[in-house]
Chains A and B, each alone.
Chain A
Amino acid sequence: MNVSKEYAGSQGGKICALKAVNLSIKPGEFMGIAGKNGSGKTTLARLLNGLLLPSAGSVMVNGMDTRQRRHIREIRRQVAMVFQNPDNQLVSPVIEEEIAFGPENLNLPLREIEIRVEEALQIVGLEELRHKSPHMLSGGQKQRVAIAAALAMRPACLVLDEPTSMLDQTCRQGILDYLRELNNRQGITIILISHNMEDLAGAGRIIVLQEGSIVRDAPPWEIFNQAGQTLDLKPPNIVRLAQMLRKRGCLLDERITTLEQMENSICRLLKSTT
């Protein structure tokens, strides 16, 4: 996939949400998008599958231009989108129907639809709730239904806009782990938008948006170590903790971005001193 440049005005006004952004995303990448509210993250995401069209410049998805109507169906099949609030995208009265909705629209044979629904339910761990109605679920469960519905389309690329903002610890971690696995095992390109820097720790690369421009494009540990000072983002607590401990003279690895790395680094320190 190769997305390059855009420039989008919001629907009514002439607010400039993205300013001549150039970006290329390779197949199989796991990319995080960080930035404050209003920095253009969601606009950028929606340009990726033609929900919004560029006001100048172009977005190419696997060689297809999102401005060409004949490509739109195929682009949307390849680039699936999961929004922040699942209530906005759940339409069916029964969960398995919700997940079957996309594959049905692809005119797939019934057996194939059944396989995909089964697989998607299993992935998000909602097999037992398959006959329930989405409105009876908690926010986190609904979010998992939305992700399952996107996965049933077997997309090449999954774009998630703040998917974990409503989730508790277990589902949040479960979904992040699962995204990493999808990325590793099946090579699905993941584009994850989050305010929460901790969510982005597993990404291969993070871009930081400020007022519609990309101000930084680097691996997570680099972004996190600068996050507090120059990027106006809140670094993950683990990174702050590591910074504080380094100030006290503890020799911790500078690439620490996750809890496991921190724990291992501390244990290594302990072993080396005893």
Chain B
Amino acid sequence: MPVIEINNLSYAYNGGTPDEKKVLDNITLSVEKGEFLGIIGANGSGKSTLIQHFNGLLYPQSGSISVLGFDTRDKHYGSQLWKYVGMVFQFPEQQIFEATVYDELAYGLSNMELDRAEIEVRVDEALANVGLVPEQVRAVSPLCLSGGMRRRIAIASILAMKPDILVLDEPMAGLDPEGCAHILAAIKRYRQEQDVTVIMVSHYINELIVLSDRVALLDNGRLRAWGPARELLARDDLPNYDLLLPDYLKLLHNLKKRGLKVKTGVLTVEEAAGEIGRVLERIKC
């Protein structure tokens, strides 16, 4: 059953002015319950604009989008959507404003009118989920924490609300490999516990393709392809979309162009090594 259905969605910024810029062009896409959808595309391809439609921050200028069965333009429903669709923006640590980690996580929960005991339980759960020890960080000011820790706090504040749909916009941008690993582990853990639908935009394609059930490729506001990662990566036109392709995939595409019979639909470095090794060995024999 689809939890998000997008039909012929188009969107332009500054419509009707000389600065008009079309960023989404006739997108039709659906997301199934429990699915992990990855969204890839160059800067300016419309990724962030698309996902802002998922919780009613933006409304379709033409076309429609329904989330959890309702049109997001429905006023009664749209104003409640934030409870069900958790949105982690780019650099979410910049939106932290409370004086302590506990207050930051409790903010959304008290807006949901949960009682205090429930809030305390959820705050601790969410902190543990992002790999932090609640007793150590609850009373700390977020300003005293490193950027990577603040990122985890910001993500925990969304997880604590237990959204049915979790939307993440570049959650790993600017973190070191260890910071990235914490974020990825938290997303995986939350997904196992809650059977949640996850939509993630990321330039870290190598991480995204192993997590995603399906991957959508945006280019200049258009949905160019949409399907299982292996199918998408096997496309010969993939290098044309200005993606941050991991270089092992670039290498495979380059070698294929040079006439080497390698498959490009691989997900990991190990698979790529297997593929190149196989071809080299066969040629030697």
Contact = CB atoms under 8 A, between A and B. Distances in A.
Contact of A195 (B177, B245, B284): B177
Nearest to A240: B269
A169 B174 contact: no
A66 interface: no
Interface residues of A, number: 41
Contacts of B115: none
Interface in B228-256: 242-248, 250-251, 254-255
The interface residues of chain A, by DSSP majority, are classed as helix
Interface range on chain B (Cβ under 8 Å from partner): 35 or more
B283 A270 contact: yes
B203 to A, nearest CB: 6
B43 interface: yes
Contacts of A38: 146
A262 B42 contact: no
Interface string A20-47: 0000000000000000111000000000
Contact of B284 (A136, A233, A273): A273
Nearest to A198: B247
Contact of B175 (A195, A266, A274): A195
Contact of A237 (B91, B148, B206, B254): B206
Contacts of B251: 238, 241, 259, 262-263
Highest count of chain B CB atoms <10 Å: which of A37, A167, A170, A172 = A37
Interface string B242-285: 11111110110011001010000000011011001100110110
Interface stretch (A73-81, A107-115, A137-145, A177-185): A137-145
Contacts of A166: 170, 173-174
B267 to A, nearest CB: 12
A143 to B, nearest CB: 10
Interface in A234-274: 234, 236-238, 240-241, 244-245, 248, 250, 259, 262-263, 266-267, 269-270, 273-274
A6 interface: no
A96 interface: no
A274 B283 contact: yes
A237 B246 contact: yes
Contacts of B170: 166
A172 B244 contact: yes
Contacts of A245: 273, 276-277, 280
B45 to A, nearest CB: 9
B131 interface: no
B170 to A, nearest CB: 8
Interface string B54-96: 0000000000000000000000000000000000001100000
A195 B255 contact: no
Contact of B178 (A36, A168, A248): A36
A169 B245 contact: yes
Contacts of B277: 244-245, 248, 250
Given A139-B90, A169-B42, A259-B250, A37 B178 contact: yes
Interface string A151-187: 0000000000010011111111000000000000000
A138 B41 CA distance: 13
11 contacts: A37-B179, A139-B90, A165-B173, A169-B42, A169-B244, A238-B248, A238-B251, A241-B273, A259-B251, A267-B258, A273-B283
